[in-house]
Amino acid sequence: MSTLPALVTQLAVELKARGQMMATAESCTGGLIAGACTDISGSSDWFERGFVTYSNAAKSELLGVPAALIAEHGAVSEPVVRAMASGALAHAHAQCSVAVTGVAGPNGGSADKPVGTVWFGWATPEGVFSERQRFDGDRATVRQATVIHALAGLLQRL
């Protein structure tokens, strides 16, 4: 996919063809995925809602992610992103979702989870899928790469 608008347009075509709606659950991107989707005119035909759950409390309160899960694995983890993706579906009128949680930097990284580490979760009628990526670059670059990978991953799973 050459540009983000082209990627979103292709995703829109797929979702509309299936009669499906999507939701987002975002931490490190702070709403950028939802913003990219709603930049396209007519997005209300396929974009249902977005959750910006930057804090751990928001992940629990808005998406139903158990606080114990966050305490045990950390917010940037596979179990948490899978719970975010599932929680987005449980709290939306959508058939698929994308969730992201990561360390965009420049601070906050660790040996286990260096800056640029992002966990992705996708929930579809076929199940919940997850994947870890590590992106190089500054905060804006990591966040932009996350948006593209999240949307491309959803499109791939449709």
Sign, CA dihedral 63-64-67-70, equals negative
**CA-based R_g, the chain, Å:** 14
1 pLDDT exceeds 60?
Answer: no
Strands 96-102 and 117-124: antiparallel
Q: Is the pTM of this model over 0.85?
A: yes
Instruction: Tell me the average pLDDT of the chain.
Output: 96
Query: What mean pLDDT is predicted for residues 119-137?
Result: 97
Q: What is the pLDDT of residue 57?
A: 98
Query: What mean pLDDT is predicted for residues 122-145?
Result: 96
Q: What is the pLDDT of residue 106?
A: 87
In which band, very low, low, confident or very high, does the pLDDT at 60 lie, cut at 50, 70 and 90? very high
CA distances from 67 to 58, 60, 100 (A): 10, 6, 17
CATH homologous superfamily of 4-157: CinA-like (3.90.950.20)
Query: What mean pLDDT is predicted for residues 111-135?
Result: 95
73 pLDDT exceeds 90?
Answer: yes
Whole-number percent of the chain with pLDDT over 70: 99
